[in-house]
Structure 1
Amino acid sequence: MRHAWKLALLGIAAAALAGCSTGALQVADVGSYHVGGRAVTLSGLPEKELVFTPGAPPLKFDPNGDFEVEGLYARYTRLANPAGRYPLLLWHGGGLSGVTWETKPDGQPGWENHFLRAGWDVYVSDAVERGRASWARYPEIFKSEPFFRPKKEGWELFRIGETGSYDTDPAKRRALPGTQFPVASFDQFAKQSIPRWSTNDAATQAAYDAYVQKACPCVIVVHSQGGNFAFNSALRYPDKVKAIVAVETSGSPNPETTDFARLKGVPMLWVWGDNLERYPFWARITAQQENFRQRLIAAGGTGDRLLLPELGWRGNSHMLMMDRNSDAIAERVDQWLAKQGLKR
């Protein structure tokens, strides 16, 4: 019975991932797990009387006791005959979750689908405090309250429109000329926004490190805030991280104290969209990342750059994996990975 259930599940996954191309994917396995985290015991908190579901009698709830916190959630799809030599791990950015890589806000297949069809085993994760990794109490465990991204910030910070171009009325929003982001689906994208904490970096890094030890050797494709975690994991486990694709990464370790010699065997590709010069924040970010990249090259490592406007591709936002031309970008990434000898 269990074997039949698993075969049915795999069949459903293969059919669902058939997407926009002909022929079903040959899927060997699908599954998920939590990794990392720690055990915590709380005491001294007051009991409460709660009604857990409408119509049920009230029940005294004791919030004290033992908990598992600060873990990471990962979901994987493994192919029967992968072309990638290692699994490809997709890491999301700040205030987001693994949904970044799944179906795009306009309903088109996301990069998870694209890389599966390109022959990679693909893992999608939710970091500490995000999605199915779940929250923990604060300030007892998480040391600060969460903050929430308004739609205005996402519209402007992600380079969909300039500062002051957002309006509550979708008809009055002013997108950048020629933007590749599917503007009509922006409110759908905003539903993906997840509360985040500014005090959980150490716990998040520990969970990602545990993830790398469990899932790798691997290739990491990482977006925005996640870049710093990927670089640090590579520094700790250069034998396990076979390459990093840093998609508009917003952070990295201090180049003054980084041992770049440890990264010589980890080829890296930075991918950047358009209109970076319009935003002082992104001008600072790209300068910092270019410093990091050049130091990697000087140490004998591979630090390549894919600046989309240099290809004549204009209008890409910070969420370039959701843009209308995102499949073409993913194809360039796949070609680069093949060039590094990471595909059979």
Structure 2
Amino acid sequence: MQKQKRRLVRKIAAGGAALLSLAFVPAIAAAQELSDLKSSPPLTLKGEGSFFVGGSTHVIDPKYISPSTFSADSGNSMINQMYVQYQIPQNNIDQYPIVFVHGCCLTSKTWETTPDGRMGWYEYFTRKGFKTYMGEQVGRGRSGFDALNYQKVLTGDLPGSKNPAILIATDKFAWSVFRWGDFDTKTPFKDERFPMQTVGVGKNATLDFYKQVIPDLNSTLSEASSPTCADGNCTPSDPNAPFNSPDNMALLANQLGGAILVGHSQSSGYPTMAALRPGSTNVKGIIQLETGCFSNLTAANIKVLKNIPILIMVGDHFTTAQPPATCVTMQKQIKQAGGDMTFVALPDLGIHGNSHMFMQDNNNLQVADIIINWINKHVRFKNHGHG
């Protein structure tokens, strides 16, 4: 069995070793520091850009508008929109577009150049022929957030206790949640694959990774109904719960005429939630990184999900058994209904040391190849109907 696993790992690694050799347009990436950048082969694109999905307006009373210069009259403010950035390769494959959405306290930077300047998944999946999209969670980064309640507290119209909580991720939070090792002694796991020099460990150490960590404002969302929102942790436990980012992911999949949705950590359950939205008919594949399973699916939910291939992938150094009970339950329900759900723990493939952030680990492209291999085997191609 171990020999089979080693052969599988070698096969996967070999399949992703060669990048597409595309010409004429240089690939320019953005690390935390310009000096961190590693050179990339040229990349030819058919198109690239950005746009917004969803959004709604609400009226802002003059007393909540600042500075006072602009407060003579009420006005409308846009909220609930999702910022999306994309690249379309010159020679794209027939597979559905892939949409990446980041996790807690982060932005789309998660998928771009790694903290130590290597190629990220945004560029790599494009090089592999995918139309590649990155969505920024509603209430985060370039999607903006709803500031009205903060203004109401400022004017005294709301008690301070009603101010939406802001989840602030510290270095200790990152060491714990991202599974890097022991925070107190700053000792990484011996086989840790995250670029630890970017979090202050080892020779030429910096704190570059922390530059991409920002406050989490999910508690400001109009659909933040989770009872845990009081402490800033607003990830729904009910797959059918209203929530802005999955709403917009479903809308984006419909606009694209079909898409493979990828969520990570805090957003890991969002692809499933997006597939279950009323009118959502174009989620063609679900990829949930670092869990995102639901053990409380309804019969109607299972009827939808049995028709969508699902991949759950986790890394290494968990202190609890993998797969978690929620994934065991969900996988059993989906498979009993005739569906296709795969759970992959990287250590089971003989790949050890991966952190919670394996899209930035030193073997991030090897992990990407595992995902691409799963897509090619499980998700039906857009134009030819073969799997």
1:322 pairs, out of 360, 368, 376, with: 360
**1:92 counterpart = 2:102:** yes
* Paired letter, 2:135: S
For 1:301-344, what per-residue CA distance to the aligned partner results, in whole angstroms no more than 9, with x for missing partners?
Answer: 10012211111111111111111111111011111111124387
Structure 1 residue 113: deviation in Å?
1.3
**1:195 counterpart = 2:215:** yes
Residues 270, 139 of structure 1: alpha-carbon distance in 2 compared, 3 angstrom cutoff: same
Of the structure 1 ranges 100-109 and 200-209, higher mean CA displacement relative to structure 2 is found in: 200-209
Question: Residue in 2 aligned with 1:5?
Answer: none
Residues 21, 67 of structure 1: alpha-carbon distance in 2 compared, 3 angstrom cutoff: closer
Of the structure 1 ranges 139-148 and 224-233, higher mean CA displacement relative to structure 2 is found in: 139-148
Alpha-carbon separation, structure 2, partners of 1:20 and 1:246: 30
Structure 1 residue 86: deviation in Å?
1.4
Structure 1 residue 253: deviation in Å?
7.1
**1:133 counterpart = 2:171:** no
Alpha-carbon separation, structure 2, partners of 1:37 and 1:12: 37
Residues 32, 12 of structure 1: alpha-carbon distance in 2 compared, 3 angstrom cutoff: farther
Residue pairs, 1:1-344, within 5 angstroms: 15-16=27-28, 22=41, 24-43=42-61, 45=63, 60-62=69-71, 64-139=74-149, 144-161=164-181, 165-167=182-184, 172-186=185-199, 187-199=207-219, 200=221, 201=224, 202-236=243-277, 239-250=281-292, 252=294, 254-256=296-298, 259-276=301-318, 278=319, 280=320, 283=321, 286-340=324-378, 341-342=380-381
Of the structure 1 ranges 24-33 and 308-317, higher mean CA displacement relative to structure 2 is found in: 24-33
* Paired letter, 1:15: A
SS at match of 2:343: strand
Alpha-carbon separation, structure 1, partners of 2:197 and 2:289: 23
Aligned residues: 312
Alpha-carbon separation, structure 2, partners of 1:295 and 1:47: 50
Structure 1 residue 20: deviation in Å?
5.5
Of the structure 1 ranges 193-202 and 300-309, higher mean CA displacement relative to structure 2 is found in: 193-202
RMSD over aligned CA atoms reads 2.7
Structure 1 residue 29: deviation in Å?
0.8
* Paired letter, 1:155: W
Asked if the contact 1:248/1:273 (under 8 Å) is kept, the reply is yes
Residues 32, 198 of structure 1: alpha-carbon distance in 2 compared, 3 angstrom cutoff: closer
For structure 2, the residue ranges without an aligned partner over 5 or more in a row are 1-22, 30-37, 152-161, 200-206, 225-242
Asked if the contact 1:251/1:285 (under 8 Å) is kept, the reply is no
Alpha-carbon separation, structure 2, partners of 1:126 and 1:327: 22
For 1:209-258, what per-residue CA distance to the aligned partner results, in whole angstroms no more than 9, with x for missing partners?
Answer: 33233234011122112122210111235630111111113454733566
SS at match of 2:297: coil
Asked if the contact 1:264/1:302 (under 8 Å) is kept, the reply is yes
Asked if the contact 1:14/1:27 (under 8 Å) is kept, the reply is no
Asked if the contact 2:59/2:76 (under 8 Å) is kept, the reply is yes
Structure 1 residue 198: deviation in Å?
4.7
Q: Percent identity?
A: 28
For structure 1, the residue ranges without an aligned partner over 5 or more in a row are 1-10, 51-58
For 1:127-160, what per-residue CA distance to the aligned partner results, in whole angstroms no more than 9, with x for missing partners?
Answer: 1111110122142799613221111111111111
- TM-score calculated relative to the size of structure 2: 0.73
Asked if the contact 1:37/1:203 (under 8 Å) is kept, the reply is no
